[in-house]
Chains A and B, each alone.
Chain A
Amino acid sequence: MTTPYQQQAPQQAPQPYAPQGVASYVSPIPVRRATLGDALASEWTKIRSVRSTMWTLGVMIVLVLGIGLLSSVAVSSSGADLGETPVLSLGFFGVLLGAIPVITLGVMTVASEYGTGMIRTTLTACPSRSRVLTAKAIVFFVVAFVITLVTTALVGLLQTAMLDGVTPTGEDWLRATLGVSLYIATLGLLSLAVGSLIRHSAGAITIMIGVVLLPLVLAMFMFSETLADLQQALFEYSIPNQLGVFYDASVTSSGPSGWDPLWILAGVTAAALGGAFLALEKRDV
Chain B
Amino acid sequence: MGLHTMIEAVGLTKRYGAKTAVYNLSFQVRPGTVTGFLGPNGSGKSTTMRMILGLDEPTSGHVTIGGHPFRKLTNAPRQVGALLDAKAVHGGRSARSHLMSLAQLSGIPAQRVDEVLGVVGLQDVAKRRSKGFSLGMGQRLGIAAALLGDPQVLLFDEPINGLDPEGIHWVRNLMKTLAAEGRTVFVSSHLMSEMAVTADHLIVIGRGQLLADMSVKDFISANSADFARVRTPQTEPQQREKLSSVLTEAGGHVMTEQDGAMRVTGLALPRISDLAHEADVRLWELSPHQASLEEAYMRMTQGAVDYRSTADQLAGFQQPMQQPGGYAEPAAPQQGWYAPPPPQPGGQPPFAGAPLPGGPAPAPGYAAPAQAPAPGHNPYAAPAAPPAAPPAPAAPPAAAQPPAAAPAPDLTKSDSDSPEDAR
Chain A residues with CB under 8 Å of chain B are: 1, 4, 16, 18-20, 22-35, 38-39, 41-43, 45-46, 49-52, 112-113, 116-118, 120-128, 132, 284-285
Contact with A116, one of B55, B56, B91, B94 (Cβ below 8 angstroms): B91
A117 to B, closest residue via Cβ = B88
Interface contact A38-B50, CB-CB below 8 Å: no
With A29-B112, A38-B104, A49-B101 already in contact, the answer to whether A113 and B90 are too (CB < 8 A) is yes
Q: Which residue of A lies closest to B183 (CB)?
A: A25
Chain B residues with CB under 8 Å of chain A are 1-2, 4-5, 31-32, 50, 53-57, 70-71, 73-78, 80, 82, 84-85, 87-94, 97-98, 100-102, 104-109, 111-112, 115, 145, 148-152, 180-183
Q: What 9 A-B pairs come out closest when comparing CB atoms?
A: A23-B182, A18-B1, A117-B88, A22-B2, A49-B97, A42-B105, A27-B150, A42-B104, A284-B56
Q: How far is the CA of A123 from the CA of B84 in the complex (A)?
A: 12
* Cα-based distance from A33 to B105 in the complex (angstroms): 10
Give, as a whole number of angstroms, the nearest-CB distance from A32 to chain B. 5
Q: Which of A24, A49, A125, A285 contacts B94 (CB 8 A)?
A: A49
Docked Cα-Cα span, A38 to B110, in Å, equals 12
A-B contact pairs, 11 of them (CB 8 A): A1-B150, A25-B183, A27-B151, A34-B75, A38-B107, A49-B98, A117-B89, A118-B89, A120-B50, A120-B84, A126-B76
The complex places the Cα of A116 from the Cα of B101 at a distance, in Å, of: 15
Closest to A35 in B: B107
| CA gap between A179 and B245 in the complex, in Å | 94
Bound together, the chains give a CA A28 to CA B108 distance in angstroms of 12
Q: Give complex CA distance A162, B70 in Å.
A: 61
The smallest beta-carbon distance between A139 and chain B, in angstroms, is 11
Contact indicator A22/B150 (Cβ below 8 Å)? no
Interface contact A18-B84, CB-CB below 8 Å: no
A46 near B101 with CB under 8 A, answer: yes
Known A45-B100, A120-B85; 17 more pairs at CB < 8 Å: A4-B115, A23-B182, A24-B182, A29-B78, A31-B78, A42-B105, A45-B104, A46-B90, A113-B90, A116-B91, A121-B88, A124-B77, A125-B148, A126-B77, A126-B105, A127-B54, A285-B56
Is B1 a contact partner of A19 (Cβ separation < 8 A)? yes
Distance from B145 Cβ to chain A, minimum over Cβ atoms (Å):
6
- Which residues of the partner chain B approach A23 to less than 8 Å between Cβ atoms? 2, 31-32, 180-182
Is the Cβ of A34 less than 8 Å from the Cβ of B105? Answer: yes
CA distance A25 to B79 in the complex (A): 10
Asked if B182 contacts A25 (CB within 8 A), the reply is yes
By the criterion CB–CB under 8 Å, are B107 and A33 in contact? yes
B70 to A, closest residue via Cβ = A127
For residue A116, which residues in chain B have a CB less than 8 angstroms away from its CB? 87-91
Smallest CB separation, A131 vs chain B (Å)? 9
CA distance A37 to B149 in the complex (A): 18
Contact of B32 among A4, A22, A29, A117 (CB under 8 A): A22
Contacts of B108 in A (CB 8 A): 29
Q: Quote the shortest CB–CB distance from B371 to chain A (angstroms).
A: 41
**In the complex, A181→B130 CA distance in Å?**
34
**Does B5 lie within 8 Å of A24, measured CB to CB?**
yes
A116 to B84, CA, bound (A): 13
Please give the distance in Å from B176's CB to the nearest CB on chain A: 14
Report yes or no: A42 in contact with B102, Cβ–Cβ below 8 A. yes
Most buried by B among A52, A122, A125: A125
Interface pair A20/B2, CB less than 8 Å apart = yes
Find the B residue at minimum CB distance from A16. Answer: B182
Bound-state CA distance A52–B106 (Å) is: 25
Known: A22-B2, A117-B87. A34 touches B102 (CB 8 A): no
- Residues of chain B within 8 A (CB-CB) of A45 are 97, 100-101, 104
CB neighbours (8 Å) of A18 from chain B are 1-2, 182
When distances are taken between beta carbons in the complex, the residues of chain A under 8 Å from B151 are 27
User: Do B2 and A32 have beta carbons less than 8 Å apart?
Assistant: no
Does the CB pair B89–A121 fall under 8 Å? yes
Question: CB-CB < 8 A to B87: which residues of A?
Answer: 116-117
In the complex formed, the residue of A with least CB distance to B146 is A124
Interface centre among A4, A16, A34 (most CB of B within 10 A): A34
A125 and B181 within 8 A (CB): no
Q: How far is the CA of A23 from the CA of B5 in the complex (A)?
A: 11
Using CB atoms, name the residue of chain B closest to A129.
B71
- The complex places the Cα of A32 from the Cα of B75 at a distance, in Å, of 7
Chain A residues contacting B84 (CB-CB under 8 Å) are: 117, 120-121, 124
Closest beta carbon of chain A to B119's beta carbon, Å? 10
CA distance A121 to B99 in the complex (A): 10
Interfacial chain B residues near A16, Cβ < 8 Å = 181-182
Given the known A-B contacts A33-B74, A51-B92, A124-B55, are A25 and B181 also in contact in the complex, defined by CB atoms under 8 Å? yes
